[in-house]
Structure 1
Amino acid sequence: MKIKEALKLNDPILITFIGGGGKTTTLFRLGEELSAEEQPILLTTTTSILMPPPSAYDLAIVTEDVAEAIRQVRNNENKGRILLGKNITTENKLKGFLPEEMDRIYKENRERWFLVEGDGSNGRSLKIPEDHEPQVPSFSSITVILIGADILGKEINKENVHRHHLIQPLTQRTQQYVDKSLIFDLISHPLGITKGIPEDSKKVILFNKISTQGKESLEILRGLSEEMINEGKDAPIHPQCRISSILLGEVQDKEPIIEIVGEDRWSALF
């Protein structure tokens, strides 16, 4: 199924993508789905992203002034896909507005979908947030936490896990490899990968890269997803860690979502 269907999207809201394992790809894929239905969208970040090709947007608004950003977005209602940022760095990265600034821009443009990348992972499939991370606007109705399925079995080091040095202090684990129990601990810890998300934001995990890892990974992550959802419902865990639903998918596939575990679950499509 499409990402839009999996997230049960109807009216325009602000959605933030954090974690690792395909945030930017997922953001622009959802943007394509909404754009195909001729819905107005704004593509942006509260950190920085590699400047996308011109074919990915209809208009780029680059300004460091919040009021000017609000004005330009409102004055371009006829543009379906707007890319917004503060400036473009010498590394060709688009730097975004701070979460509180993004809230101001969104409040004046609620008729448009806001798709926001709120985290950086240096291309890694698993990201452990530092104190100042992630950067999620308070108006984020849905926050999607990405984890790459290819991280299973990988060694815990800087090549595979962004901010890998934070795992041991967080979980008290000294293991060398990523397994499903470690991912469970990182999701369920209040300072883990669900931290920094507004209390009233719906939290959705997306395990990406499922198809390329095969049925074994699907079974492992399906089991982990069941455990995570049941733990959230049946045991007293920190409210910050409760997950609404978990998506299993391959964002670059024609039908990017394979299965949903959680509220109003769908049948497996794999």
Structure 2
Amino acid sequence: MKIHELFDIKFTKKEIISFVGAGGKTTSVFKLAKELKNRNKKVLVTTSTAIYYPNEGDYDELIVNDSINIDRIKEGSITVIGREVSKENKLLGLSKQSIDEIYNLKVFDYILVEADGSKRKSIKSPADHEPVIPINTDKVVGVIGLDCIGKKINEENVHRPELFCNITNSKMEEMIDEDKIFKLIINEKGLFKDTSKECKKYVLLNKVECEERKKIASRIKELVIKSKFEVIGIIACSIINKNIVFKWSDKI
């Protein structure tokens, strides 16, 4: 299965897709971008927070702190736009208003936004100022890396562990399990915080690379379905290996 199929991309309209959470956002964004490029689409990859400076092979055009030259945006290309490059070699993001202004230019077929920071952890809880989702976002993909299962809730394993404890009714140093992940997904201050009702929500359970994680992903899926939490799709996969374990879909 292609990654674009996971998010029900039909190639019939222009979209903004925002990625939140932790545990594979950047990898997911660029792999999806390459698939869309191969479909001869004009793809913009950007961030409303910050991402590590991309490799040259991941884009065709890189714009930092400059205006868009429409004539340089070609079909079948990936453009990366950022505000500036930090001392840590991170590409700092645009405001969500700026991303919406670019969307309104109708230059790009798809705008893929990394809308959340996670400091390379596999699971996180958002702070008050997170995530930063552009207004015109059509779909929000909430990412969780299931390599967090069985690890302790602390600064080493969880981005913002105190907030994670508050949301999941847990204590520091407790083990992360499927029930805690379920609570993170459905809590209004959790994975999909600040996602509008108009946005289609997808849960992406990433790094599902062994039988035990497959079973855990299935249990999380059943808990979410039973809760009747409004979500369009639940996906278990290894994005880096492009290995899809399952996708559950509600009717669109």
Structure 1 length-normalised TM: 0.87
Root mean square deviation, CA, Å? 1.7
Q: Bigger shift: 189-198 or 151-160?
A: 189-198
Q: How far apart, CA to CA, are the structure 2 residues paired with 1:185 and 1:53?
A: 35
Alignment size in residue pairs = 248
Are positions 1:84 and 2:72 aligned together?
no
- List 4+ stretches of structure 1 deviating above 6 A: none
Decide which moves more: 21-30 or 98-107: 98-107
Asked if 1 retains the 8 angstrom alpha-carbon contact of 2:20 and 2:192, the reply is no
Partner Cα separation in structure 1 for residue 129 and residue 180 of structure 2: 22
- Give the letter aligned to residue 105 of structure 2: E
- Aligned partners of 1:126 and 1:91: how far apart in 2? 22
Q: Secondary structure at 1:174's aligned position in 2?
A: coil
**Contact 1:3–1:256, Cα closer than 8 Å, also in 2:** no
Alignment of 1:141-156 (within 5 A): 141-156=138-153
Q: Is the 8 A contact 1:204 1:246 kept in 2?
A: yes
Structure 1 equivalent of residue 240 of structure 2: 252
Please tell me whether the aligned partners of residues 6 and 257 of structure 1 are also in contact (alpha carbons under 8 angstroms).
Answer: no
Of residues 167, 170, 174 in structure 2, which corresponds to 1:170? 167
Aligned to 1:124: 121
User: Which residue does the alignment assign to 1:237?
Assistant: none
> How far off its partner does 1:170 sit?
2.6
- The match for 1:200 is 198
Q: Deviations over 1:160-206 (max 9, x none)?
A: 00000112333333371111111111111111111111221111010
- More off after superposition, 34-43 vs 130-139: 34-43
Taking the TM superposition and a 5 Å limit, the aligned residue runs for 1:129-140 are: 129-140=126-137
2:64 counterpart residue number: 62
Q: Give yes or no for contact 2:15–2:111 (8 Å, CA) kept in 1.
A: yes
User: Percent of counterpart pairs with the same letter?
Assistant: 33
**Which of 40, 43, 46 matches 1:44?**
46
> How far off its partner does 1:89 sit?
1.6
Of 7-16 and 20-29, the range deviating more from structure 2: 7-16
Q: 1:218-269 deviations in whole A, cap 9, x for unaligned? A: 012112112202311xxxxxxxx5221111000011x34221023259xxxx
Counterpart AA for 1:39: K
Q: What SS class does the counterpart of residue 205 from structure 2 fall into?
A: strand
Match of 1:16 in 2: 18
Say which of 189, 192, 216 aligns to 1:191.
Answer: 189
Superposition TM-score, scaled by structure 2 size? 0.93
Rate the CA distance shift 1:99–1:256 in 2: closer, same or farther, 3 A: farther
Matched AA of 1:257? I
Q: Distance in 2 between matches of 1:128 and 1:220?
A: 20
The alignment status of 1:228 with 2:206, answered yes or no, reads no
SS in 2 for 1:75: helix
Q: Distance in 1 between matches of 2:88 and 2:190?
A: 30
Amino acid at match of 1:145: G
Gaps of 5+ in 1: 233-240, 266-270
Query: 2:4 matched to which residue of 1?
Result: 4
Check if 1:98 corresponds to 2:85.
Answer: no
Gap change, CA 1:168 and 1:6, over 3 Å in 2: closer
